[in-house]
Amino acid sequence: MKKENKGANVKMMSVPDGCESRRNRMEVGRVLGSFILKSAQQEEALHHICF
């Protein structure tokens, strides 16, 4: 298995078995959760600036 680590982006280069597939889904969930959190924080900051 080859991993390329670039900040929050992690790529796993292999044919996933059950465990690796689950790990990949967890990684995608973590990145998406982080993105949603940052978006919500930016929206809240913008709201405070405008109002």
pLDDT tens digit sequence for 12-51? 555 556 677 877 877 877 877 778 788 888 888 887 787 6
CB contact at 8 A, 42 and 48:
no
| Among 43, 4, 10, 39, residue whose Cα is nearest residue 25 | 10
d(CA 12, CA 20): 9
Provide the pLDDT for residue 30. Answer: 80
> b/e map of 13-48 (b: 16 or more CB within 10 Å)?
eeeeeeeeeeeeeeeeeeeeeeeeeeeeeeeeeeee
Q: Answer whether 0.85 is exceeded by the pTM.
A: no
Provide the pLDDT for residue 47. Answer: 79
